[in-house]
Structure 1
Amino acid sequence: MLSVDNLTRHFGRTAAVDRVSFSVERPAFIGIIGRSGAGKSTLLRMLNRLTDATAGEIRFEGRNVLALKGAAKRAWQSDCAMIFQQFNLVPRLDVVSNVLHGTLNRRSALATVFNLYPRADIYRAIDILDRLGIAEQAAKRAEALSGGQQQRVAIARALMQDPKIILADEPIASLDPMNAQVVMDALRRIHEEDGRMVIANLHTLDTARRYCDRVIGMRAGRMVFDGRPEQLTTGVARDIYGADASFSEQATSTSIEALDRVARAAMAETELI
């Protein structure tokens, strides 16, 4: 379905993404991990065509994605929906209107200016919100919702595009563990029930192991790991993150259980001092 070949992006003399190649033969849930500055976000932005590539090729179902222009490029961006860490909602608009923004690429300029939506689209938006467990928030302003609820609104907006691929750039980085789990459960369920490909940049190993079918590790712009979650050992993680033997997975975990263990260990250490 998706083929990435020697994809490269330079910013000046720096290679943010350096000759990355991989292929995906069927819809899968893929996690991309690596430290800040590894090139994860730039890679997703090139897949979505928000950032141009310096070199390389992206093909989806035989189409040369990097050659698309105008309406064809906009159609690709509908097929390849993007979810951002900071949600990118319109705070003062109600939740349903934010979800309906997922249809902007296929609406006329006049309809966009006057905020006119077909009744079928409104019903569909509410159905998607119901699927994500937040239909009761439909009439509220987006700014009144919690972070986890706002991220589910962003997922609903992406689903309104009816995409073939969902790209999620650090979708849980700003969320507490409980909301992080709710959001990741929603993405995994969408993958399994809809058969959609999901590619998510993630910052914790436990999340990658729990939710992903395949994990790609990046370091300094290069792909240094590509394998199954169970192959992501602590030793492999140290290599991906460029860490020494003091590297601790628990310190970066998003699971409530792991955070409890870290807190208990810290309390015990304090009592010994």
Structure 2
Amino acid sequence: MLYVKELTRRFGTNTAVDRVSFEIDRPMMVGVIGRSGAGKSTLLRMVNRMTEATSGQVLFDGEDVLALRGKARRAWQARCAMIFQQFNLVPRLDVVSNVLHGTLNRRSTLATVFNLYSASDIHRAIDILDRLGIAEQAAKRAEALSGGQQQRVAIARALMQDPRIILADEPIASLDPMNAQVVMATLRRIHEEDGRTVIANLHTLDTARRYCDRVIGMRDGRMVFDGAPELLTTQVAREIYGANADFSEAATSTEIETLERADDSYALSMMGP
């Protein structure tokens, strides 16, 4: 379905993504992990065509994605939706209007300029919000919502595109642990119920293990791990993150119980014997 081959991106003398190759032959949820600067975001942006590749190939159902131009490129970006860390909503617009922006790639210029939407699109947007548990927020301004709610609005906007693939670039990095779990559970449910492929950049190992069918590890622009979540041992994680024996998964956890235990341990260490 999706074949990434020797994908590379250079910025001057810096190689952000270095000959990354992988294949996704069926719908699945994939987590891409690695420290900041590992090339995760650049990788997803190249797949979506927001960033041009220096070399390599991205094939989807046999079509050369990197060769697409104009209308064909925009059509690909509709089939391959992006979700961002900072939500990228229009703060002063109401929630349902933000969701309806997911239809922009298939609307006429006139309809876009005058903000015209069909009744069927409006009903579909509300149905998607209801599915994600935030239909009651439809008339509110986006800026009035919590971070977790705003990210679910961003997911709803992506679903309005009816994409085959959803690329989520650090979708929970700005959220507290409880909202992070809600957003990840939402993405997992979309994958399972709709049969859509979800590729999410993540910082936390427990999140990758809990929600993903497959994990790709990146370090310094290169893919250094590709396997099932159960193979993601602490030793493998140290290699991905370039960490020494002091590396602790608790420091990157989104599990509320783990964070509480880590806080308790820290408090005890500060108290001394």
Instruction: Tell me the TM-score range normalised by the shorter chain.
Output: over 0.9
* Counterpart code for 1:32: V
**Offset at residue 12 of structure 1 (A):** 0.2
Aligned to 2:236: 236
* 1:59-96 Cα deviation digits (max 9, x unpaired): 00010000000000000000000000000000000000
Mapped to 2, the partners of 1:200 and 1:147 lie a distance apart of 18
Quick check: 1:49 aligned with 2:54?
no
* Counterpart code for 1:258: T
**Offset at residue 148 of structure 1 (A):** 0.2
| Count, aligned residues | 273
Aligned to 2:113: 113
Aligned to 1:40: 40
Aligned to 1:223: 223
**Offset at residue 219 of structure 1 (A):** 0.3
SS at match of 2:81: strand
Question: Deviating runs (4+, > 6 A) in structure 1?
Answer: none
Structure 1 gaps of 5+ residues are none
* 1:190-242 Cα deviation digits (max 9, x unpaired): 00000000000000000000000000000000000000000000000000000
* Counterpart code for 1:38: A
* 1:116-154 Cα deviation digits (max 9, x unpaired): 000000000000000000000000000000000000000
Aligned to 1:136: 136
Mapped to 1, the partners of 2:211 and 2:134 lie a distance apart of 22
Mapped to 2, the partners of 1:115 and 1:219 lie a distance apart of 44
1:152-231 pair list within 5 angstroms: 152-231=152-231
* Counterpart code for 2:207: T
Aligned to 1:269: 269
1:25-104 pair list within 5 angstroms: 25-104=25-104
**Offset at residue 266 of structure 1 (A):** 1.1
* Counterpart code for 1:203: H
Mapped to 1, the partners of 2:271 and 2:14 lie a distance apart of 47
Mapped to 1, the partners of 2:43 and 2:269 lie a distance apart of 41
**Offset at residue 51 of structure 1 (A):** 0.2
**What TM-score do you get using the length of structure 1 for normalisation?**
0.99
**Offset at residue 55 of structure 1 (A):** 0.2
**Offset at residue 272 of structure 1 (A):** 1.6
**Offset at residue 267 of structure 1 (A):** 1.3
SS at match of 1:30: strand
Mapped to 2, the partners of 1:241 and 1:271 lie a distance apart of 31
* Counterpart code for 2:122: I
**Offset at residue 38 of structure 1 (A):** 0.2
Mapped to 1, the partners of 2:185 and 2:239 lie a distance apart of 28
**Offset at residue 264 of structure 1 (A):** 0.6
**Offset at residue 270 of structure 1 (A):** 1.9
SS at match of 1:44: helix
**Offset at residue 269 of structure 1 (A):** 1.2
Q: Percent of counterpart pairs with the same letter?
A: 78
* Counterpart code for 2:20: V
Aligned to 1:150: 150
> RMSD between aligned alpha carbons?
0.5
Mapped to 1, the partners of 2:272 and 2:5 lie a distance apart of 54
SS at match of 1:7: strand
Quick check: 1:251 aligned with 2:251?
yes
SS at match of 2:199: strand
SS at match of 1:92: coil
Mapped to 2, the partners of 1:21 and 1:197 lie a distance apart of 17
**Offset at residue 7 of structure 1 (A):** 0.2
SS at match of 1:210: helix
**Offset at residue 252 of structure 1 (A):** 1.0
* Counterpart code for 1:223: M
Structure 2 gaps of 5+ residues are none
Mapped to 2, the partners of 1:206 and 1:257 lie a distance apart of 12
